[in-house]
């Protein structure tokens, strides 16, 4: 049985990861920015002794550090799923600069804060695995214009993941980056290509097979390496 922490488990892919890991018999710490408002997560956790709900806002350093102090013991798998689109104003001539700053806190700095705070928990596992959910829009190989806010903040977090893998080379922690697919969630919309169930299942399969030799790599949900 693995101990799994999911930062951003209130809905979508994060919620589905929590459900699937619990169904597999793993101990799940499902984190949400606003647990009181996370109704779907509350429903999933209700009566399920495998899921514990914790407050964690990746964009708030104090919240991240407090959660790391509350939670003791090793963590085998940590998924940073929480993310933000960055609003509708993302074109060259119509962009919300304040939203860009806010989204940078969530998409780029947030995963760094989580990695830093929970490094001791991952190391204590002896084979800790950190996966940051990012996007194919982070890749320079993906020709897609617009979405300056989302694309740049996801590209930046890919670099964060790569640097973590290098800096933790001597630590018993594997770092990975994951494009979850174009998923039918609140963010992806109803016309996306795959369901949250399909995405989460693929993500879990990749996570299970990771070894230290793969640390720092960028994956697709189906296990393929994503060029970037």
Span 204-223, pLDDT tens digits: 999 999 999 999 999 999 99
Report yes or no: 41 and 17 within 8 Å, Cβ to Cβ: no
For the cut 70, the answer to whether the pLDDT of residue 188 exceeds it is: no
For the cut 70, the answer to whether the pLDDT of residue 123 exceeds it is: yes
Sheet with 3-7, edge to edge strand ranges = 51-55, 27-32, 3-7, 77-80, 128-133, 173-179, 217-220
Asked whether residue 56 is assigned to any structural domain, the reply reads yes
For the cut 80, the answer to whether the pLDDT of residue 190 exceeds it is: no
Phi, psi of 219 (to 5 degrees): -110, 160
Asked whether residue 225 is assigned to any structural domain, the reply reads no
Note the pLDDT tens digit of each residue in 171-183. 999 999 999 988 8
173 - beta bridge partners?
A: 128
Report yes or no: 79 and 129 within 8 Å, Cβ to Cβ: no
Asked whether residue 79 is assigned to any structural domain, the reply reads yes
Asked whether residue 44 is assigned to any structural domain, the reply reads yes
Asked whether residue 58 is assigned to any structural domain, the reply reads yes
Asked whether residue 227 is assigned to any structural domain, the reply reads no
Burial 150-189 (b: 16+ CB within 10 A, else e): bbbbbbbbbebbbebbeebeebebbbbbbbbbbbbbeebe
Note the pLDDT tens digit of each residue in 126-161. 999 999 999 999 998 878 888 999 999 999 999 999
For the cut 70, the answer to whether the pLDDT of residue 186 exceeds it is: no
Asked whether residue 22 is assigned to any structural domain, the reply reads yes
Asked whether residue 226 is assigned to any structural domain, the reply reads no
The tokens describing 20, both together, are 């699937």
User: At 19, which CATH number?
Assistant: 3.40.50.720
Note the pLDDT tens digit of each residue in 91-118. 999 999 999 999 999 999 999 999 999 9
pTM for the complete prediction? 0.95
The tokens describing 187, both together, are 């963010």
For the cut 70, the answer to whether the pLDDT of residue 187 exceeds it is: no
Note the pLDDT tens digit of each residue in 19-77. 999 999 999 999 999 999 999 999 999 989 999 999 999 999 999 999 999 999 999 99
Three-state SS annotation for 131-176: EEECCHHHCCCCCCCCCHHHHHHHHHHHHHHHHHHHHCCCCCEEEE
Which domain, by its residues, includes 197? 3-220
Domains held by the chain: number: 1
pLDDT of residue 192: 66
Look at 215 and 190; give whichever has higher pLDDT: 215
pLDDT band at 189 (very low <50, low <70, confident <90, very high): low
Mean pLDDT of 155-170: 98
Residue 51, phi-psi category: left (phi > 0), alpha (psi -120 to 50), beta (remainder): beta
């Amino acid at each position: 049985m693995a101990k799994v922490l999911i930062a951003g488990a209130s809905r979508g892919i994060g919620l589905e990861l929590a459900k699937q890991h619990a169904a597999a018999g793993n101990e799940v710490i499902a984190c949400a920015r606003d647990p009181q408002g996370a109704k779907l997560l509350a429903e999933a956790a209700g009566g399920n002794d495998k899921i514990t709900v914790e407050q964690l806002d990746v964009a708030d350093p104090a919240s991240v550090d407090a959660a790391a102090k509350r939670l003791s013991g090793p963590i085998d798998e940590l998924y940073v799923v929480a993310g933000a689109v960055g609003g509708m104003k993302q074109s060259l001539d119509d962009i919300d600069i304040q939203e860009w700053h806010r989204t940078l806190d969530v998409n780029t700095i947030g995963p760094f804060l989580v990695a830093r705070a929970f490094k001791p928990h991952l190391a204590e596992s002896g084979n800790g695995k950190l996966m940051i959910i990012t996007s194919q829009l982070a890749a320079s190989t993906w020709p897609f214009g617009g979405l300056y806010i989302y694309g740049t903040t996801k590209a930046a977090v890919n670099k964060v993941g790569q640097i973590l893998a290098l800096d933790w080379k001597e630590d018993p922690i594997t770092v990975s980056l994951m494009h979850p697919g174009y998923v039918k969630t609140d963010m992806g919309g109803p016309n996306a290509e795959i369901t949250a169930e399909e995405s989460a299942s693929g993500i879990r399969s990749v996570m299970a097979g990771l070894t230290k030799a793969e640390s720092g790599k960028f994956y697709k949900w189906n296990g393929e390496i994503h060029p970037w």
